[in-house]
Amino acid sequence: MKKVAFYTLGCKLNFSETSTIGRLFTDAGYAVVDFTAGADVYVINTCSVTDHADKKCRKVVKEALKYAPNAYVTIVGCYAQLKPTEIAEIEGVDMVLGAAEKFRIVEFITDLTKNPKAIVHQQSIEKVNHNFIAAYSIGDRTRTFLKVQDGCDYPCTYCTIPLARGGSRSDSIGNVVNRAKQIAASGVKEIVLTGVNLGDFGIRNGQREDKFFDLVKALDEVEGIERIRISSIEPNLLSNEIISFVASSKRFVPHFHIPLQSGSNKILSLMRRRYQRELYTERVATIKALIPNCCIGVDVIVGFPGETHEDFLETYQFLNELDISYLHVFTYSEREQTAAAEMEGVVAGSTRADRNKMLHILSDKKRRAFYQSQLGTVGEVLFEDDQKCGFMHGFTKNYVKVRAKYDPVMVNEIKSVNLVAITADGEVEVTECSQVLAH
């Protein structure tokens, strides 16, 4: 039996797609093995959002060939769509597949002979704009990442995702509900909804047929799934009706991750974001009024062209005063074929790094304050299959990370626990209540 191993860079959407590609190989008679096990085929799923995509790709290829010098190496994902020729020149790469081709990977890998020149199968992103391919992760995590939407129609000036994934398109509500039922039947307790622009769900064949809120209502009726989490949603698409529904939902958890990118209206305009900071403030206030214990995560970019010291301080102060729970901080980096790459006011690399560090410190402060607010309460924790220094971990509905003494019986169980203290490394220690909330 031939062996295949995977490595995924980037977002939850990439993880869902890697898992789906893995099932294609399993159906074709391959055994999926760990990266270090010396596979016959290595599939590296790449990202174009994070820094140094080329450097990371080269490093993973080199590591794969260290474990299996004669392995057949295939590169897929966003970076593969954007830079196929560049990737094909990386030593050790045998095949590069674009966005439309990656789910046909088993068809393309018919011969594992390594050739002097990599084979490239990639077409213009316009040809895949209306083609939605479903994906979900299963069997490798306690929770499942379920892809319901792909692509984006928002022309943010810093972003290459529309170039790498095409225009916004979605699955149907019926298909998503059926897939959620299948996932529930497999024993998974939590589904995380994923997409490039999740709140834009509902476009098929270039036409809007549904709204994200319609999907939320339909999924809330799916029996067998204990929790549904919204991975990330734009503030202009997070409507009050969605917030109100989650507040009284049977399955949707009190956790929103809402990209901000900047607390300066000037910078938001330069980024071509579809809101200003005042709307973001309203969204946070509405959430906290209806769901006081809700966890709110924020994406923010530092060092965007034209961001002065005063602009950054405006962002810092805005975030400091907001009732949010944690930050995902990204340092701006230039991307070819984006409008921002041509803008004036380039921020020095050292300044970008300093601003990143300041916001990471603020994020730690925000997370600790949020965790502190939850001490003394009872949380429902879904425990995961991990073990580190004798402890296992899990998350409450509102995304507080807890740790408990490892017990294999508790894996993939939702237990009622008392949140009692914050550890030195920022996790929450718990004591068990007697009631098991899910089996």
Mean pLDDT by 10 residues, the chain (439 residues): 93 91 95 95 88 83 95 94 92 93 93 90 78 83 90 94 92 97 93 96 94 98 96 97 97 98 98 98 98 98 98 98 98 93 97 98 98 96 88 96 93 93 94 58
Q: What is the pLDDT of residue 436?
A: 44
Q: Would you say 73 and 61 are in contact if contact means Cβ atoms under 8 Å apart?
A: yes
pTM for the model = 0.92
Instruction: Report the distance separating Cα 129 and Cα 124, nearest Å.
Output: 10
Are residues 130 and 109 in contact, defined by beta-carbon separation less than 8 angstroms? no
How far does Cα 433 stand from its chain's mean position? 32
Distances, alpha carbon 236 to alpha carbons 177, 193, 259, 280, in Å: 25, 18, 10, 8
β-bridge mates for residue 76, sequence order: 45
Widest pairwise Cα distance in the chain = 63
> Per DSSP, which regions of 262-409 are E strands?
295-302, 326-331, 378-383, 391-396, 401-405
**Which among 48, 83, 134, 120 has a CA at the least distance from the CA of 335?**
48
